Each structure stands twice: as structure tokens, then as C-alpha cells.
Amino acid sequence: MDYETIQVEQRGAVTLITLDRPKALNALNAQVLTDLLAALAALDADHSQGCAVLTGSDKAFAAGADIKEMSGMDFAAMYGSDHFSGYDRLVQTRKPVIAAVAGYALGGGCELAMMCDFILAADTAKFGQPEIKLAVSPGMGGSQRLTRAVGKAKAMEMCLTGRMMDAGEAERAGLVSRVIPAAELIDEAVKTAAVIAGMAPIAVKANKEMVNAAFETGLTAGVQFERRLFHGLFGTADQKEGMAAFVEKRPGNWTGK
Ligand code: CO8
């Protein structure tokens, strides 16, 4: 399939999606959303693919929502079209998506990275919610996801001042899982995605769903949800295979059933 604003490449069982609007530092316009939704729907539908990596360029993962596209819009246009609400569908992707962030991840770019299942950051990465400088605010979940990721103090400071966090600070604050030298970012992200793609597919979906549930539920309900999904995995052929393979000291051979 051809896309206008992204490049999609399959590397084994890993789908590598690269934002491709270099002249606008990968600013997110309506077409990017359309392309991303199509690429992630294709990922979910393709049994040969187990995990995606979403990345940008060396200079920018994405420098935010497209300010030029938004600047002329009024309340009726924004509210009437529920502008960018399609990103809610993006987070419903059932296979894991890893954000591999180098350079700027600002505004909607930071929010897009946080919609992924986890973030691997190059040592050049810079995260920020600078919308306040434009007299607006995060609008794709940043005020909520950043606060859950790094806590109120840092999230509030970043949203109110627009200051950026470098990769080291982002790792210490829990926004990213690991910092990687920029030159190795894509290879390391694809390697990590390949590890995930090599796991039993139903178990991958269940693990993703239960970790995400921690954001939506209280502890007792979350633990209960986890336990029920754990019980459910004992209804899969891959659970039998996985435990037999352990006992027989061999790799598991997954059927996705
Ligand atoms: N939108 C559109 N174009 C952009 C954007 C953007 N967010 N960011 C950069 N560009 C363009 C520039 O206009 C410039 O284009 P041109 O060459 O035609 O002038 C080109 O990219 C290169 O940018 P710079 O010359 O500015 O590059 P610098 O290296 O000097 O600076 C920065 C890099 C610091 C990243 C700078 O470009 C910048 O500050 N960009 C804007 C960052 C920002 O404010 N992001 C937040 C945008 S608002 C947002 O994301 C809201 C999200 C919620 C939306 C929800 C809707 C419901």
C-alpha cells in the first residue's frame, strides 16, 4: 500500500513505520493520522507481523501537530470535526507499537510517542509539551499521559513552561524505557520488537492489555483483570506448548491459538 506521509517497511516480523514529512519536522497533519491508522490496521490484520516500531528522522520524531494546518481553524471546525479524535483509534491497535524517538518529540509528537506502548529514546531525544507558547494546550492526551508517566510536578512544569526534557531526564522520570546511542536506535528498536514478535501472539496481546489496564483501573480491579486474563491464557494451545517447551528445554513453537 502507498502512503503519502509515512514509509512502511517489513523487517521480518517487525513493521517499521517512519514518519516522512522532513520539511515540516514530521508535523502531524490529517493525512499523517489517516496513514498511521491504515498502517496500524494492516499490522493488526497481518499474521506475519508481530510488533511495530514507529520512528521519525534523526532531527525530529515529530515537532507537534501541524501548526499551519490548525492555525486558521475556529472552535466550530475543531469541535465539529472532533479534530484528531482518530488518535483514540490508534491506541486501540492490539499488537505492540514501540516509539523509537530521536530529536524533537514536541506537543502532538510527544503525545504520539506516549500513545505507543513504550518509548526507546536516542540520546538526542527531546520531549516537551510547548503548546502553551502557542496559547493552547496538549490536545491528544498529553496532559493525562505525561502526568501518569512522570508525575504531577514534572508534567505541570512542562505544560506550564513548555520546557523540554532531554533523554536522560526522560529516562530518570520514567517517560522512556531506555536511552540508546542515536546511531543504534533503529537497529535496537527493531531488535526489541523482534523479541516481542517472537513471543506467543495471544500472550503478547494479553500482556499489552493488562499493563494498559493499570492506567484505567484501581489496584484491586486491575489485579482482578490481570488474573482473569492469566486464567484465560490457560485456554490457549500456546500455553501448553510454552510450558512443555520449557520442561523439554527447547524453544516454543507458537501457533497463535
Ligand atoms: N507544525 C508545522 N510546521 C512545523 C512544526 C509544526 N509543529 N514544527 C516545525 N515546523 C516547520 C517549520 O515551520 C519550518 O518550516 P519552514 O522551513 O517552511 O519555515 C520547518 O518545520 C523547520 O522548522 P524550524 O525552522 O523551526 O527548525 P528549528 O530547528 O529552528 O526548530 C523546533 C525546531 C524547535 C522543533 C521548532 O520548529 C518548533 O518550535 N516547532 C514547533 C513546536 C511546537 O510548538 N509544537 C507543538 C505544536 S501544537 C500541538 O502539537 C498540539 C497537539 C494537540 C493537537 C490536538 C488537536 C485536537
pLDDT tens for each residue of 40-80:
999 999 999 999 999 999 999 999 999 999 999 999 999 99
Q: What is the pLDDT of residue 1?
A: 81
Tell me the helices (H) and strands (E) count for the chain, helix number first. 12, 10
Q: Is the CB of 131 under 6 A from ligand 1?
A: yes
- What single DSSP character describes residue 23? G
The mean pLDDT value for 245-254 works out to: 97
Q: Is the CB of 64 under 6 A from ligand 1?
A: yes
Q: Looking at the CA of residue 106, tell me the nearest atom of ligand 1.
A: 45
Q: Is the CB of 134 under 6 A from ligand 1?
A: yes
The three-class DSSP label of residue 142 is helix
Helices 201-213 and 219-233 sit at what angle, rounded to 10 degrees? 170
Q: Looking at the CA of residue 66, tell me the nearest atom of ligand 1.
A: 1
Look at the alpha carbons of 86, 88, 92, 95 in this order and tell me if their dihedral is positive or negative: positive
List Cβ neighbours of 36 (8 Å cut-off, separation of 6 or more): 6, 17, 54, 90
Cα(16) to ligand 1 centroid in Å equals 24
CB atoms within 10 A of CB 229: 17
Q: Is the CB of 27 under 6 A from ligand 1?
A: yes
State percent of the chain over pLDDT 90: 99
Catalytic site includes residue 209: no
Phi and psi for 101 in degrees, rounded to 5? -105, 120
- The predicted model scores a pTM of 0.97
User: Please, what are the domains in the chain?
Assistant: 6-197 (3.90.226.10), 200-248 (1.10.12.10)
Is pLDDT larger for residue 2 or for residue 211?
Answer: 211
Q: What is the pLDDT of residue 177?
A: 98
d(CA 81, CA 130): 24
Residue-wise pLDDT tens digits, 106-120: 999 999 999 999 999
Nearest residue by C-alpha to atom 41 in ligand 1 = 63
The mean pLDDT value for 115-133 works out to: 98
Q: Which amino acid is at 238?
A: D
Q: Which amino acid is at 79?
A: Y
Q: In 3D, which of 119, 150, 117 has the Cα closest to residue 129?
A: 150
Q: For residue 81, what are the CA distances in angstroms to 34, 108, 241?
A: 14, 18, 48
Residue-wise pLDDT tens digits, 1-33: 889 999 999 999 999 999 999 999 999 999 999
